[in-house]
Amino acid sequence: MSEGLVLLSGGLDSSTLACNLARNGSRIEGIFVDYGQSMAIAEMRAAKFVASWAGFNLKIIKSPLDKSLAVGCLFENRPRKWETNFVSFLPQRNMFLLTIAAMYAQQKNIKNIYIGVIKTSATPFPDTTVDFFEAAQKALRKSYPGLTIHYPFINMDKASIVSLANKIGLPIDATFSCEMAADHHCMQCPSCIDRYWAMRCKIND
């Protein structure tokens, strides 16, 4: 039986989280949610690669959002020029993902859910804070007592994640983190830019 369920998007952060847990001997399972984002195929390909590379099972859930809810750059599939007020925030996304993960975890009697949020230099999205995760855990425990949400990277920045990924030996190029293009790193969105600079930043461990 798995001890933990990792929300795996195929991006660098969640992939490093899952692989680090697996490497440290945790019996984990990954869960990938296709909610209709335009990069779902590329993300899923990366998530499948990571799961097979690290040797854990991956559950794929298809739960596409209705078109009226699928708004913003995650659903547009068109790389744009850099916009200073670029927003990739999809309100309630983390609650939605955690709810799906909790439903699956409860079926499988898995008590721990892991999510790979990290520290960013910009203002964090409201659903990536400790306050949010504590509240989400409290709400989800009403239906599933004993469930714990873990967010062990919340105080780590992207460069530290790259450093950890390198230490594990994770093939970073196989992960996919873009928030705008469906099948390549657009090099315009905040995720691509963070990833680019972090990979070029030297870290003194």
Q: Which residue has the tokens 């007020």?
A: 85
Interhelix angle for 158-168 vs 190-200, to 10°?
60
Separation between Cα atoms, residue 159 and residue 136, nearest integer Å: 28
Nearer of residues 20 and 191 to Zn ion, judged by Cβ: 191
Nearer of residues 61 and 159 to Zn ion, judged by Cβ: 159
Residue 49, Cβ neighbours under 10 Å: how many? 17
Sign of CA dihedral 61, 105, 164, 159: positive
User: In the numeric block, which tokens belong to residue 142?
Assistant: 């009403």
Q: Minimum CB separation from Zn ion for residue 147, in Å?
A: 33
Nearer of residues 72 and 152 to Zn ion, judged by Cβ: 72
Nearer of residues 186 and 198 to Zn ion, judged by Cβ: 186
Which residues 164-193 are close enough to bind Zn ion by CB under 5 A? Answer: 178, 180, 186, 189, 192
Strand partners, 174: none
Contacts with Zn ion: how many residues (CB under 5 A)? 5
Separation between Cα atoms, residue 193 and residue 199, nearest integer Å: 10
Q: Minimum CB separation from Zn ion for residue 184, in Å?
A: 8
Nearer of residues 6 and 189 to Zn ion, judged by Cβ: 189
Q: Minimum CB separation from Zn ion for residue 191, in Å?
A: 5
For residue 127, give the amino acid letter: D
Residues 49-68, one symbol each (x = binds Zn ion by CB under 5 A, - = not), give: --------------------
Residues that bind Zn ion (CB under 5 A): 178, 180, 186, 189, 192
